[in-house]
Amino acid sequence: MLPDRGRKNDRKNDRTGAERHGRSSESLAALWLRLKGYRILARRLKTHVGEIDLVAAAPFGPVCFIEVKARALARAAAESVGPAQQTRIARAASLYLASRPHLARRGARFDIVAIAPRTLPVHHRDAWRPEI
């Protein structure tokens, strides 16, 4: 009898679907922010300490490091960014700004964009302050 490879393929398909859903949620969040006057500076920014979904310049304001969360309810999405994830994002943001002093002068803010089905995205400005 051959080993069951169906479960492994199911997990791969689940990961691929989640990846596709995450990318489309980030695209929707980026579009929403652009409509509000933000300038997208980076998408899926990867550093050795973590990844940031979106980096955007607020109109006449700080550089925003934005975590995009898609859930069944927008409230659940906003509450799903825990302290460990906040710390990783803050460290990655620090690295990003260290290499861009012209942006660092603008200051930084940490936002969440919550994506839920059949509703407009919800932008939570200044969602947390890093403790590092």
The DSSP string of 31-70 is HHHHHTT-EEEEEEEEETTEEEEEEEEPTTS-EEEEEEEE
Q: What is residue 11's predicted lDDT score, i.e. its pLDDT?
A: 60
For the chain, what are the domain ranges? 6-128
Our separate counts of H helices and E strands in the chain read 4, 5
Per-residue model confidence as pLDDT tens digits over 4-57: 555 666 666 676 777 787 788 999 999 999 999 999 999 999 999 999 999 999
- The yes-or-no verdict on residue 132 having pLDDT over 60 is no
Span 71-107, pLDDT tens digits: 988 778 878 899 999 999 999 999 999 999 999 999 9
Q: For position 22, what pLDDT does the model report?
A: 76
Q: Per CATH, which fold does 6-128 belong to?
A: Trna Endonuclease; Chain: A, domain 1 (3.40.1350)
The reported pLDDT for the residue numbered 7 is 63
pLDDT (0 to 100) of residue 16: 79
State how far the Cα of 127 lies from the Cα of 100, in Å rounded to an integer: 23
